Amino acid sequence: MTVTGLVPVASETFEPPGPRDFDLPPVFGDSILFAKPALLLVLSAIVVLGFFLVTTRRMAMVPSKTQFAGEQAYGFVRNSIARDIIGTKDFLKFVPWLVATFFFILLNNLFGIIPFIQFPSFSRVSFAYGLAALVWLLYNGLGVYKHGFFGYLKHVTVPNGVTGPILVLIIPLEFFSTVIVRPATLALRLFANMFAGHLLLILFTLGGEYLLLESSNVGYKAVGVVAFLLAVAISFLELLVQFLQAYVFTLLTAMYIQGALAEEH
Amino acid sequence: MAFGYLVGGAAFYGGLGWLLDRWLGTSFLLPLGALFGIALAMYLVFKLYLHA
């Protein structure tokens, strides 16, 4: 078979999906604020708030099914993230932040595979930057509050157990990795996972659709069916990644809080 | 955390090398600085986490 034989015979050529598929036009008006990703953020905030309002509306000693669901969700973040990482002494006042972060990110990620929504909001990098900026303000603010400005600066830049002239080289490195690299990797990890997952899904579904419907070759049609099946399989993989990224983001937030509050580095 | 140190080391000392490159008109200080930063980061990671 020649190389040209690999190209399916079709009326129009296949356009592979790319970053431009993430630039969604405004649903109404001409402001970017009314584009799908921004509206999804608002929707997720309403849904998460609604979920916890409904599940905690009538609290009873013997919980109803909805109260049980809410308590399980809350308890997961409270115990296995906040308490385990920050420690029993200080963790309680950070639980609301961490619970809100976790379920906000989780729902926005799940939007990537919920039928008819099918867009993970954090595949737009600016949202991830915004979230990481909040975390940056939180842990640095906490550190300054706890140790004082210069005390925190020392806390951040001078690692425990490192002494001598090598500190001259270490201090800028520590400062750079804690203050600049940390929020960037936090944001990019979430963004890149959501971006890549969504790209993979649209590639397999659009490619499958093209092979199945636009090509006249039976073999290509069969490959198109396989592509659709793979898209379903990847959706399950994405479910795992979406949960994991929400978990990792919250876990790292808790670790940064713990690091800022710690007595020693 | 360890990853952050590696990126931070390469970025900071690589950036320093880049600035020196621009100033002196050379081109070898950027990779040299990046490698030096990574080496320093690895020293720090071993120092901090090996005995922990």
Q: CB A176 to CB B44 under 8 A?
A: no
End-to-end CA distance of chain A: 63
What is the Rg, in whole angstroms, of the alpha carbon atoms belonging to chain B?
12
The verdict on residue A13 lying in a domain is no
The verdict on residue A3 lying in a domain is no
Greater pLDDT, A12 or A206? A206
Q: Is the pLDDT of residue A41 over 80?
A: yes
Distance separating alpha carbons of residues A169 and A66, to the nearest angstrom: 55
For residue B50, the model assigns a pLDDT of 79
Q: Is the pLDDT of residue A255 over 50?
A: yes
The verdict on residue A7 lying in a domain is no
Rounded average pLDDT over A191-195: 96
The verdict on residue A253 lying in a domain is yes
Q: Which among A159, A182, A255 has CB closest to B44?
A: A159
Distance separating alpha carbons of residues A37 and A194, to the nearest angstrom: 13
The verdict on residue A24 lying in a domain is yes
Query: How does pLDDT run across A13-30, given as a tens digit for each residue?
Result: 888 898 988 988 888 888
Domains: count for chain A? 1
Q: CB B44 to CB A161 under 8 A?
A: no
The minimum CA-CA distance between B11 and chain A, rounded to whole Å, is: 8
Q: Which among A159, A180, A255 has CB closest to B48?
A: A159
The minimum CA-CA distance between B20 and chain A, rounded to whole Å, is: 17
The verdict on residue A5 lying in a domain is no
Query: How does pLDDT run across A156-186, given as a tens digit for each residue?
Result: 888 887 888 888 999 999 899 889 999 999 9
| CA closest to A174 among chain B residues | B5
Find the domain containing A52 and state its range: 19-261
The verdict on residue A210 lying in a domain is yes
The verdict on residue A8 lying in a domain is no
